[in-house]
């Protein structure tokens, strides 16, 4: 019973139910945060149900930001169908003045996610940013990937979301991860610096991090270069004081995961692993 109560308390702090979603969106916007709506069902067997759920989410919540996990749309088993799903969702999002933020995931499907994200950025990001690509900076190859994306000949704009990475337990066995957390920190900050030097004026960067050193580093680059196209993002229930301070001067997003109890557990498990020192404070 005690464990269940603890889990429910955590879920209510870091996620919400579908019924609570409208109230949470309103609450975040009143605090000058831009919600990123994240439906947490990742079961690829429910891909058609997941598609319809996200489609309805976009339709009923215009002028928002929608996170999409391509695993939930069955990208690994049926690439063509997942591509069709994504095309429909992006088209609907643009009609509803919303953006799509495609999440990075585990090693087995990340190359497919990169390919499909690049394709649709090149189609839909001509004049503005409607699609964001997520870069996992705990991987050895990601900085080179980011460099290639920005430096290649292109006639579209890049929406770039930097994360450290949340799939360690699945990815470490493939020898693709940096072997030191400090190297990950350096890789993250190196990417911020690269963006400030090589991005065009319509490219956009979201620093999705709770790491204050990286945040301060990004702020220093913003102030030194008078940059307008860098924003920040934190998770619901985490670093709220930091988010509040940042929102006084900068654009700040808050991830708003929602779903039923069973669906939110995988999300919460990754957050526990990724941010365990911060979450431990929740119980003190």
Note down pLDDT in tens along the chain; length 284 residues: 544 444 545 556 788 999 999 999 999 999 999 999 999 988 899 999 999 999 999 999 999 999 999 999 999 999 999 999 999 999 999 999 999 999 999 999 999 999 999 999 999 999 999 999 999 999 999 999 999 999 999 999 999 999 999 898 899 999 999 999 999 999 999 999 999 999 999 999 999 999 999 999 999 999 999 999 999 999 999 999 999 999 999 999 999 999 886 666 666 666 555 544 444 443 33
What is residue 10's predicted lDDT score, i.e. its pLDDT?
A: 57
What is residue 66's predicted lDDT score, i.e. its pLDDT?
A: 98
* Cα 224 from Cα 240, distance rounded (Å): 26
* Cα 242 from Cα 234, distance rounded (Å): 9
- Residue 57 CB neighbour total at 10 angstroms: 21
Neighbouring residues of 159: CB distance < 8 A, sequence distance ≥ 6: 99, 101, 121, 125, 129, 130, 131, 132, 133, 203, 204, 206
**pLDDT per position as a tens digit, 212-252:** 999 999 999 999 999 999 999 999 999 999 999 999 999 99
H-only helix segments in the chain? 2-14, 21-30, 47-60, 79-95, 107-124, 142-151, 168-171, 181-198, 212-225, 240-247, 261-274, 276-280
Residue 258 bridge partners (DSSP) = 16, 39
| DSSP 8-state assignment for residue 202 | T
User: What is the CA angle 215-184-75, rounded to 5?
Assistant: 100
Could you give the 3-state DSSP secondary structure of residue 33? Answer: coil
What is residue 166's predicted lDDT score, i.e. its pLDDT?
A: 86
Which residue is associated with the tokens 């996170």? 67
Q: What is the pTM of this model?
A: 0.91
* Cα 137 from Cα 48, distance rounded (Å): 31
What is residue 127's predicted lDDT score, i.e. its pLDDT?
A: 95
Judge whether 211 and 240 are in contact, CB under 8 Å.
no
What is residue 283's predicted lDDT score, i.e. its pLDDT?
A: 36
What is residue 282's predicted lDDT score, i.e. its pLDDT?
A: 38
| DSSP 8-state assignment for residue 104 | P
| DSSP 8-state assignment for residue 158 | -
DSSP for 224-262? HHT--SEEEEEETTSSHHHHHHHHTTS-EEEEEEE--HH
* Cα 261 from Cα 250, distance rounded (Å): 33
* Cα 261 from Cα 86, distance rounded (Å): 26
**pLDDT per position as a tens digit, 138-176:** 999 999 999 999 999 999 999 999 999 989 889 999 999
| DSSP 8-state assignment for residue 75 | T
Which residue is associated with the tokens 């699945």? 170
Judge whether 230 and 221 are in contact, CB under 8 Å.
yes
């Amino acid at each position: 019973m005690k464990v269940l109560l603890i889990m429910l308390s955590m879920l209510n702090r870091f996620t919400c139910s579908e019924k609570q979603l409208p109230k949470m969106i309103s609450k975040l916007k009143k605090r000058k945060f831009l919600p990123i709506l994240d439906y947490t069902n990742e079961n690829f067997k429910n891909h058609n149900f997941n598609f319809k759920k996200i489609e309805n989410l976009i339709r009923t919540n215009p002028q928002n930001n929608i996170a999409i996990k391509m695993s939930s749309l069955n990208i690994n088993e049926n690439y063509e169908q997942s591509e069709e799903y994504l095309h429909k969702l992006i088209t609907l999002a643009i009609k509803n003045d919303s953006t799509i933020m495609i999440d990075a995931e585990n090693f087995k499907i990340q190359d497919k996610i990169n390919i499909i994200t690049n394709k649709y950025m090149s189609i839909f990001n001509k004049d503005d940013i409607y699609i964001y690509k997520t870069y996992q900076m705990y991987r050895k190859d990601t900085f080179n990937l980011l460099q290639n994306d920005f430096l290649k000949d292109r006639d579209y704009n890049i929406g770039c979301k930097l994360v450290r990475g949340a799939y360690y337990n699945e990815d470490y066995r493939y020898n693709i991860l940096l072997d030191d957390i400090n190297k990950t920190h350096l890789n993250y900050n190196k990417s911020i610096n690269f963006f400030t030097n090589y991005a065009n004026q319509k490219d956009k960067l979201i620093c999705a991090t709770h790491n204050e050193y990286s945040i301060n580093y990004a702020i220093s680059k913003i102030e030194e270069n008078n940059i307008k196209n860098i924003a920040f993002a934190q998770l619901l229930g985490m670093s709220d004081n930091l988010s509040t301070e940042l929102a006084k001067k900068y654009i700040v997003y808050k991830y708003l995961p929602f779903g039923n109890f069973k669906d939110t557990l995988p999300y919460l498990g990754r957050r526990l692993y990724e941010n365990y020192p911060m979450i431990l404070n929740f119980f003190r």
